[in-house]
């Protein structure tokens, strides 16, 4: 994969999730996989499993997603959390209640 080679050349560590979301001070990593199969291409590598463990130990969260629908569900879940746990200061900023 050309992108993975480029990221590695730039110093990205093996196992880092494909997408990173920082939302309300929380780290959420999204690891994008092909739809679930029995082949290795749809599974997490040992480096990915280790990185996910490190991220979650540090208080972050990682989701493995297999489709755009999975990503949308996670975003919806985050928005519900914001509505419940935060108050809006203005149209761009919000703070913990």
**Hey, where are the domains in the chain?**
14-84
pLDDT at 59 over 70: yes
pLDDT at 2 over 60: no
Q: Are 19 and 30 in contact (CB under 8 A)?
A: yes
pLDDT for the residue numbered 17 = 92
CATH class entry, domain 14-84: alpha beta
More confident residue, 6 or 82: 6
Helix (H, G, I), strand (E, B) or coil at 71: helix
pLDDT for the residue numbered 53 = 94
pLDDT for the residue numbered 90 = 57
52: buried, middle or exposed (CB in 10 Å: 19+, 13-18, 0-12)?
buried
Q: Are 50 and 80 in contact (CB under 8 A)?
A: no
pLDDT at 41 over 90: no
């Amino acid at each position: 994969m050309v992108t993975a080679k480029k990221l590695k050349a730039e110093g990205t560590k093996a196992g880092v999730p494909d997408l990173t979301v920082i939302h309300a001070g929380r780290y959420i990593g999204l690891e994008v996989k092909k739809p679930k199969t029995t082949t290795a291409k749809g599974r997490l590598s040992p480096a990915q499993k280790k990185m996910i463990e490190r991220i979650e130990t540090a208080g972050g969260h990682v989701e493995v997603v297999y489709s755009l629908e999975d990503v949308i569900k996670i975003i919806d879940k985050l928005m519900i959390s914001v509505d419940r746990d935060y108050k809006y200061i203005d149209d761009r900023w919000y703070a913990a209640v």
